[in-house]
């Protein structure tokens, strides 16, 4: 009996797909750091029983209507705003993501970004590399303290709670806003639930970890930035579209907030000419929230396992 066909939209280490090798014939897009072209994805999907996808791959009605043998899509991410889940359900396609395995690594990066932005770490490193360090000054590259400040977390899911645990170690007061109260965060960490405006007004660090939805699109806009302290630092490690980037730029240029640390952008990848990148008070990273060898490999294995389970008639481990 011929094995079902699975298409993987980036070049991944074959050893991380071992659980899938016996269940399917696997083909991969040949490049690791470039998205699979839309035309190629559409063509491969026509005969695929499974797709292992990235956030850059749109799984929409156009693709699903042509993918008549498709049974499962496994997204190499926790977020799945690139997938039309309702359309997939209509076509009886199971969709999966990778929750849990990347929580701690993403929290590490989020807090590292907060610290880098507050203490001007990248700027200070560049200062030496550019040969600009010619002497010591009492306010040379002075940043902002992190310890005992107030952190406001927007989106108190598993990653939000993990960031809050790190904040607690720095003696920070923890505020949060979420669609629903997190009894776990309140009991374990002493986190205090507030309204969104209250969080903006009271926080020294505003950390965005909310998923992208119709309600959160451009949640951080001019009105939001104007509510923040002028000394506040904004951190985004969720989705770029949650932020109105033009409004963030204006807030930074007009010194309505102190700085920003950004791991995500509305359109990715961005160029060195992106307006936000030109600002010294912006610490910008290329969407590396979960980018450790251990975590990315675990995500790959989970995607492969989910596809293998569904093709074998079993429930996926992390079905949406």
- Residues with catalytic roles: 239, 268, 287
Of 165, 246, 164, 243, residue with least CA distance to 210: 243
Report the alpha-carbon distance of residue 237 to residue 211 in Å, rounded: 10
The contacts of residue 136 (CB under 8 Å, 6+ apart) are none
Report the alpha-carbon distance of residue 191 to residue 185 in Å, rounded: 6
Report the alpha-carbon distance of residue 78 to residue 98 in Å, rounded: 5
Q: Classify residue 132 by its DSSP letter.
A: -
**Cβ(110)–Cβ(237) below 8 Å:** yes
DSSP string for 235-282: EE-S-GGGB-HHHHHHHHHTTSSSEEEES--SSSSPPTT-GGGG-TTE
Report the alpha-carbon distance of residue 152 to residue 114 in Å, rounded: 12
């Amino acid at each position: 009996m011929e094995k079902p066909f699975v298409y993987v939209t980036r070049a991944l280490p074959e050893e991380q797909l071992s659980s899938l090798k016996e269940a399917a014939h696997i083909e991969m897009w040949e490049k690791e750091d470039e998205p699979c072209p839309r035309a190629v994805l559409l063509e491969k999907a026509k005969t695929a029983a499974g797709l292992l996808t990235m956030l850059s791959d749109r799984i929409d009605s156009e693709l699903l209507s042509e993918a008549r043998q498709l049974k499962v899509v496994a997204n190499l991410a926790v977020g799945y705003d690139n997938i039309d889940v309702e359309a997939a359900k209509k076509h009886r396609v199971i969709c999966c993501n990778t929750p849990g395995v990347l929580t701690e690594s993403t929290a590490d990066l989020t807090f590292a970004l907060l610290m880098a932005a507050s203490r001007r770490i990248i700027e200070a490193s560049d200062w030496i590399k550019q040969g600009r360090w010619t002497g010591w000054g009492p306010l040379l590259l002075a940043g902002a303290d992190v310890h005992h400040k107030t952190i406001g977390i927007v989106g108190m899911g598993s990653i939000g709670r993990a960031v809050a645990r790190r904040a607690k170690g720095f003696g920070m007061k923890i505020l949060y806003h979420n669609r629903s109260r997190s009894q776990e965060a309140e009991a374990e960490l002493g986190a205090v639930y507030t309204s969104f405006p209250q969080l903006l007004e009271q926080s020294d660090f505003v950390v965005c970890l909310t998923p992208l939805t119709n309600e959160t699109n451009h949640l951080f806009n001019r009105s939001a930035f104007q509510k923040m302290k002028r000394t506040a630092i904004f951190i985004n490690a969720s989705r770029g579209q949650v932020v109105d980037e033009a409004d963030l730029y204006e807030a930074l240029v007009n010194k309505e907030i102190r700085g920003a640390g950004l791991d995500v952008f509305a359109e990715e990848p961005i160029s060195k000419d992106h307006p936000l990148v030109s600002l010294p008070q912006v610490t910008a990273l290329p969407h590396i929230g979960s980018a450790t060898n251990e975590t990315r490999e675990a995500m790959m294995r989970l995607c492969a396992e989910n596809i293998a389970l569904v093709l074998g008639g079993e429930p996926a481990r992390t079905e949406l």
